[in-house]
Structure 1
Amino acid sequence: MHLPELPDVLDTLRVVALPMAVRFRGVDTREAALFEGPEGWTEFSPFVEYDDAEASAWLAGALDYGWRATPPTVRDRIHVNATVPAVPATDVPGVLARFDGCRTVKVKVAERGQRPQDDIDRVRAVRAELGPEARIRIDANGGWNLDEAERAIHAMNEFDLEYAEQPCATIDELAELRYRIKYSGVLIAADESVRKAEDPLAVARARAADVVIVKAQPLGGLHRALAVVAEAGLPAVISSALDTAVGIAMGTMLAGALPNLDFDCGLGTASLIRDDVADAHVRGGVLPVGRISPDPAALDRLAADAERTQWWRERITRCHTLLSERV
């Protein structure tokens, strides 16, 4: 794709600060940069702690979505999972109530400062709330070492886990853990080992995962993400990165374009946000496939202050420079 000129990117820039309904990944307010390209509104929202080298891939993804025609889709709706942050077990029913009709739940575990028993209690509460038919997956964000992961998965598998997402940080650990827990029937899913890796296909070549978690922005856009899934040869779960409604729509377009979609997708995170630029809430456990344009009134209501807007302008400028050097 031809790289758009920087003034064309910045011309329609709107930086928003979305209040969270539930604290997630240590975030109480989610900032994002939105701008409009020839194909429609798009989103640039790497987390603020990411450096420019990592964030530039997210900008490539935003530009791909805003300036390049999207791939054809093969489905018009996506089944999605609920997401339960690392909250106390007593808060689980209230969190799940925000996700209408979801039949699958991803539970955050391995939160720093919490005990293994906290994770077990949280997963138990999900199973008790939704009954035996629901599917439960856990996400450790690489927070366990190999032995901790093996013990935790063994302890929680009484609740019939679907898969464990990024239980360990390294590919070698994932491969060894996959071998150790094969008896359990719990699958290993790779997230950070795909989206944060210099080589997103290394985890598949190492046979270190059964499932790949794919996010459009970090991989450089819809077209690049589809290529990664095809080359990996593994089932994919399309997920958001706590995006605004615009970014979630990007995820639905990616999920809609996959030839095969065997798992519910992690695109329901709008339910964790108190106020958004448009409506991307799950209804009946599904989201429609399609672009979303932000509500002008919401853009005004949720606008970040001048200092934060300038911070994002400068970040986009630096990342655009990095992308132009690679062209």
Structure 2
Amino acid sequence: MLPPLSDILASARVVSLPLRQKFRGVETREVALFEGPEGWTEFSPFLEYDDEESSAWLTAAIDFGWRAAPPIFRSGIRVNATLPAVDAAKVAVILDQFPGCRTVKVKVAEAGQTLADDVARVAAAREYLGAEGRIRLDANAGWNVDEAEHAIHALAPYDLEYIEQPCATVDELADIRKRVKYMGLSIAADESVRKASDPLEVARAGAANLLVIKAQPLGGIHRALSIVDEAGLPVVISSALETSVGISMGLYLAAAVSELPYDCGLATVSLLAADVTSDSLVPVEGAIDVRRVVPDAALLDRYAADAERTAWWHERLERCHALLKE
């Protein structure tokens, strides 16, 4: 189902959107959007990703734009708030952007920060949520096994739901899972799924209790669903700091998963200071409706990337398309 490159470029628009708070080291988010027979779709690998990795994101964009979405089990998805690695004093202001969310994913193990910074941030999130809210951590593979064990013991008093990607490798995940099993804490795998040559390795190794699944890095809704089925583990459907067009893809994936026991990480449009639609996919009472998005022409114009960046994205599309064609 590879459409001609000319069909993609005919409607392609590149936008640069400001973030409310620096996230993953960036203050603006560049993405490419284009329209297929099924509607608008998004291609938004991060700038540092090479063409081979980025080609999976193009496969996903084509899948969503040119192929009908699978049947869905639900029309709305409960979502979590995402808390960047900010000072504890800023926690409440950021979480106010996620109305009704009962779960918060807190970024920890940020380069240049300390465990004390993480503890303060998690403590502030717990105070904001109260006793009944849920807190999950995301270390983005920032710890080795010993560091992870030490950090988990320091953060466990704040009643954690699970810890996402505490360490980098599958072997390390298996090790830390064994070390903290007696604490009743679950380990989730993200990078070990979406960045792995074999996304099922972590499940086969018994290195995680659940998987974080993202549509774009895994090649789209249909391929991601096949990975979920083969893995046989609970999943959290998450996003990659996309516009509402990309979030729509993630929502359709979440809606098509038969069992969805966890709130999903699909509320990240709230981290953006601008979007490509005036009817953004943001949480209402902690949930987001499953629907497609048509960008507003005026917003595409307002946040259009300059000619140099647009050419850069068009060349990237061309290279990734060539890889898929091969």
Residues in 2 aligned to 1:287 and 1:308: alpha-carbon distance in whole angstroms: 31
Structure 1 unaligned regions, length at least 5 = none
Deviations 1:265-285 (A, max 9, x none): 000001110010021111110
Aligned to 1:310: 311
Matches within 5 A, 1:247-266: 247-266=246-265
Give the letter aligned to residue 67 of structure 2.
R
Residues in 2 aligned to 1:111 and 1:205: alpha-carbon distance in whole angstroms: 29
Residues in 1 aligned to 2:76 and 2:20: alpha-carbon distance in whole angstroms: 25
Residues in 2 aligned to 1:198 and 1:103: alpha-carbon distance in whole angstroms: 34
User: What value does the CA root-mean-square deviation take over the aligned residues?
Assistant: 0.5
> TM-score w.r.t. structure 1 length?
0.99
Residues in 2 aligned to 1:19 and 1:274: alpha-carbon distance in whole angstroms: 5
The runs of 4+ residues in structure 1 deviating greater than 4 Å are none
Aligned to 2:159: 160
Residues in 1 aligned to 2:230 and 2:66: alpha-carbon distance in whole angstroms: 24
Tell me how far 1:200 sits from its aligned partner.
0.2
Aligned to 1:300: 301
1:162 partner SS: strand
Residues in 1 aligned to 2:138 and 2:174: alpha-carbon distance in whole angstroms: 17
Aligned to 1:74: 73
Give the letter aligned to residue 309 of structure 2.
R
Residues in 2 aligned to 1:322 and 1:61: alpha-carbon distance in whole angstroms: 14
Alignment of 1:6 onto 2:2: no
Aligned to 2:111: 112
Aligned to 1:221: 220
Residues in 1 aligned to 2:149 and 2:9: alpha-carbon distance in whole angstroms: 47
Tell me how far 1:184 sits from its aligned partner.
1.0
Deviations 1:82-136 (A, max 9, x none): 0000000010000101101000000000000000100011000000111000000
Task: Among all aligned residue pairs of Structure 1 and Structure 2, give the percentage whose two residues are the same amino acid.
Answer: 64
Aligned to 1:323: 324
Residues in 1 aligned to 2:322 and 2:291: alpha-carbon distance in whole angstroms: 30
Aligned to 1:267: 266
Tell me how far 1:163 sits from its aligned partner.
0.4
Deviations 1:58-86 (A, max 9, x none): 00000000001110111000000000000
Aligned to 1:187: 186
Aligned to 1:283: 284
2:11 partner SS: coil
Residues in 2 aligned to 1:23 and 1:99: alpha-carbon distance in whole angstroms: 17
Residues in 2 aligned to 1:45 and 1:297: alpha-carbon distance in whole angstroms: 20
Aligned to 1:33: 32
Residues in 2 aligned to 1:243 and 1:7: alpha-carbon distance in whole angstroms: 24
1:50 partner SS: coil
Q: How many residue pairs are counted as aligned between the two chains?
A: 324
Tell me how far 1:291 sits from its aligned partner.
1.0
Residues in 2 aligned to 1:249 and 1:103: alpha-carbon distance in whole angstroms: 21
Tell me how far 1:300 sits from its aligned partner.
0.8
Tell me how far 1:296 sits from its aligned partner.
1.1
Structure 2 unaligned regions, length at least 5 = none
Deviations 1:128-175 (A, max 9, x none): 111000000000000000000011111101001000000000000000
Tell me how far 1:197 sits from its aligned partner.
0.3
Residues in 2 aligned to 1:99 and 1:64: alpha-carbon distance in whole angstroms: 29
Give the letter aligned to residue 240 of structure 2.
A
> TM-score w.r.t. structure 2 length?
0.99
Residues in 1 aligned to 2:163 and 2:19: alpha-carbon distance in whole angstroms: 25
Alignment of 1:57 onto 2:56: yes
